[in-house]
Amino acid sequence: MDKTIEKIVSLCKRRGFIFQSSDIYGGFSAVYDYGPLGIELKNNISQLWWKEMTQAHENIVGLDSGILMHPKIWEASGHVGAFNDPLVDCKQCKSRYRADEFSEDHASIDWQDTQCPKCGTTGNLTEPRQFNLMFKTHAGPVEETGTEAFLRPETAQGIYVNYQLVQGAMRMKIPFGIAQIGKAFRNEIIARNFIFRTREFEQMEMQYFVKPGTDDDIMKDWKEKRLEFYFEKLGISTDKLRFHEHDDSELAHYAKEAWDIEYDFPFGWSEVEGIHNRTDYDLSRHEEFSGKNLTYFDQPNNDRFLPYIIETSAGLNRMLLTVLADAYWEDEDNNRTVMKFHPRLAPIKAVICPLLKKDGLPEKAREVMEILKPHFKVIYDQQGSIGKRYYRQDEAGTPFGITVDHQSLEDDSITLRNRDTMEQDRISIDQLLNYINDSI
């Protein structure tokens, strides 16, 4: 099977998962809209993450901070000064590149002697210029100095500047964590590979506040826990995930140690989530810029210190792309394409089909619908042959197909089709809810 990103993009549009933004105006680069199935899938993933990070850990609580914040925060965090990508232009064909696309070690490249990958000419590439990735805007009705604000490029800073308020309100004792899901914005120079790198995206970040000296062990712990989440909760293939450690040239300005969880996408191994030891860099910078004391008092040990932070930072959209890429399967034997989502993630859990549009079968099918509808997303479909109805739902990743036939009227049973094996079992309607619930 040749699994390409183009095939996934096409299925996503056809089945209502993901559309290019502003489609009727010719599109808006590097922004995507999530259709009916896309939003269900995205919600299922983010709810799993939220449950895993907050409900399953007594010492992690949630937060929802603003996208717009005091502009000084971005000076303190280093984003105003250091959140740059090196940008290279071709004077001939006007193509634009990130310098690190040519080589990680782009400082040693002779640009005058380098060929433009698009037009093939040599001598037309400019020296790299630093390009800040933050989106600027103005707060208030008048655009003047002092009103400039930024759309946040990461959700993390909203957690750092609220950490003492959260700690005090919830009487948290170190080690403790704060989790947040929210939009982030980066004016990416090159946005490609569908929803992998976009200008507007969502992050799911958890910042874990720890005592300095305990950070290395806690980092190891979180690495294991986060990888397990992909296998155990999302059901991603074990051979498609790996760790990549950042060397000195890759480390972000705030990190002492950083590991990426990478997935083997159709376009190669790429980062889905980062686990970073940010030390006390962020809190010490916010102390410096705000003039506030951000230390933590450890009462039992009569000890005061600035906590270290272990961060787990995942892109919700990239995690969704991981789930899509992993689920995509061309079943050549049966001439169909199937999204093999774990039933827990599937946007629609079951399709309910009356075999015919007459003889009381639609009414019986509606009864089944009413039983299941309060518990999870199910749909009703009586359009076209039963085979066509099932194949449509195979592409949508719906794990169960329920058919109501004449026997259903006699003994209250239905046939339940398994999406992956296409096997059908006869089961009674009153067992149906438990059956599907068990699979989720």
Binding-site ranges for ligand GAP (CB under 6 A): 154, 156, 186, 188, 197-198, 201, 203, 205, 271-274, 311, 313-315, 317-318
Taking the complex as a whole, how short is the minimal distance between the CB of residue 270 and ligand GAP, in angstroms?
Answer: 9
Taking the complex as a whole, how short is the minimal distance between the CB of residue 73 and ligand GAP, in angstroms?
Answer: 13
Please report how many Cα atoms fall inside a 13 Å half-sphere around the Cα of residue 288, on the Cβ side. 11
Taking the complex as a whole, how short is the minimal distance between the CB of residue 377 and ligand GAP, in angstroms?
Answer: 26
| Sign of the alpha-carbon dihedral angle for 138, 142, 143, 145 | negative
Taking the complex as a whole, how short is the minimal distance between the CB of residue 134 and ligand GAP, in angstroms?
Answer: 12
| Sign of the alpha-carbon dihedral angle for 28, 30, 36, 39 | negative
Q: Using the minimum distance from each CB to ligand GAP, give the nearer residue, 182 or 274.
A: 274
CB 323 within 8 A of CB 234: yes
Report the C-alpha gap between 34 and 38 in whole angstroms: 5
Q: Using the minimum distance from each CB to ligand GAP, give the nearer residue, 227 or 365.
A: 227
Q: Which helix (H) or strand (E) is 18 found in, with range? A: strand 18-20
Taking the complex as a whole, how short is the minimal distance between the CB of residue 111 and ligand GAP, in angstroms?
Answer: 25
Closest alpha carbon to 172 in 210, 127, 142: 210
Taking the complex as a whole, how short is the minimal distance between the CB of residue 161 and ligand GAP, in angstroms?
Answer: 14
Taking the complex as a whole, how short is the minimal distance between the CB of residue 82 and ligand GAP, in angstroms?
Answer: 12
Q: Which helix (H) or strand (E) is 353 found in, with range? A: strand 350-354
Torsion angle, alpha carbons of 228, 229, 235, 240, to 10:
-60
* 439 φ, ψ (degrees, to nearest 5): -75, -20
Q: Using the minimum distance from each CB to ligand GAP, give the nearer residue, 62 or 362.
A: 62
Q: Using the minimum distance from each CB to ligand GAP, give the nearer residue, 100 or 188.
A: 188
Q: Using the minimum distance from each CB to ligand GAP, give the nearer residue, 52 or 205.
A: 205
Q: Using the minimum distance from each CB to ligand GAP, give the nearer residue, 85 or 405.
A: 85
| Sign of the alpha-carbon dihedral angle for 62, 68, 70, 71 | positive
CB 108 within 8 A of CB 322: no
Residue 177 C-alpha from the chain's centroid: 20
The first and second tokens of residue 188, run together, are 């990416």
Q: Using the minimum distance from each CB to ligand GAP, give the nearer residue, 314 or 396.
A: 314
Q: Using the minimum distance from each CB to ligand GAP, give the nearer residue, 133 or 409.
A: 133
Residue 186 burial by Cβ neighbours in a 10 Å radius (0-12, 13-18, 19+): buried
Q: Using the minimum distance from each CB to ligand GAP, give the nearer residue, 246 or 336.
A: 246
Residue nearest to ligand GAP as judged by C-beta position? 315
* 12 φ, ψ (degrees, to nearest 5): -60, -35
Taking the complex as a whole, how short is the minimal distance between the CB of residue 204 and ligand GAP, in angstroms?
Answer: 9
Report the C-alpha gap between 238 and 216 in whole angstroms: 25
Taking the complex as a whole, how short is the minimal distance between the CB of residue 360 and ligand GAP, in angstroms?
Answer: 50
Residue 74 burial by Cβ neighbours in a 10 Å radius (0-12, 13-18, 19+): buried
